[in-house]
Homo-oligomer: A and B are copies of this chain.
C-alpha cells in the first residue's frame, strides 16, 4: 500500500482548482446557497472535477474561507502574548464568532464540519492547533477546568452555528460566549 506522498498536483488540475476557488468566492459571497453545479459551470469545469477537489459543499466553503480562518487561528498566539490566558481565550472566541457571522455560509459550514466526529480528523489543523494552544495556556495558568479537549471546546461553542447571521447576532453571541466561558472556567484549580 504505497502512500501517495502529498500529491504533487498535475498542472491543469492545479489551475482548475484555483479557478473553482476564485469563482466560488465570488458566487458564494453573492449568495451563500448558489448551486454547486452553477459554480462548476462558471468555472468551466465538469461536476466531477468540482466534487473531486471538494467532496461536499462544506469542504468547498471551508476552503474558500481558509485564508480567513487561518488568520483567526493565527491570532491565538498573538492574543496569548498580549493578555491573560482567559482574556485571550474569550477574545479569540469573539473573533471566531465575528468571522463566522460575517462570511456568508461559513457558520453553516462550520456546523456541518464539526458535526458527528472530531473536527481534527477532517484535516483542518490550524483551528484545532489554535484551540489546543489556548486551552493549554489556560490549563497551565489554572484558569479553566483541567482535561478539556478541543472537541469538548467545539461542542461547547456549537451554539454559534445555530445563530442566524442575518439577525441581531451580536447580543446572542455575547450571551452564549459568556455562558460558555464561565462553564469552562468552573472547576479551575486556580493558579
Q: Is the interface of A mostly helix, strand, loop or mixed?
A: helix
Q: Confirm or deny: A115 has a beta carbon within 8 angstroms of a beta carbon on chain B.
A: yes
Q: Confirm or deny: A183 has a beta carbon within 8 angstroms of a beta carbon on chain B.
A: yes
Q: Which of B111, B155, B178 contacts A163 (CB 8 A)?
A: B155
Q: Which of B116, B167, B172, B187 contacts A162 (CB 8 A)?
A: B116
Give the number of copies in the complex.
2
Alpha-carbon gap, A156 to B183, bound state (A)? 10
Q: How large is the interface on A (under 10, 10 to 19, 20 to 34, 35 or more residues)?
A: 20 to 34
Instruction: Provide the residues of chain B in CB contact with A167, threshold 8 Å.
Output: 117
Alpha-carbon gap, A52 to B101, bound state (A)? 33
In A128-164, the 8 Å CB interface with B consists of: 145, 151-152, 154-159, 161-164
* Extra 7 A-B pairs, beta carbons < 8 Å, given A154-B159, A183-B184, A186-B186: A116-B163, A152-B175, A179-B180, A180-B183, A181-B183, A182-B185, A182-B187
Binding site for B on A (CB under 8 A): 111, 114-117, 145, 151-152, 154-159, 161-164, 167, 172, 175-176, 178-187
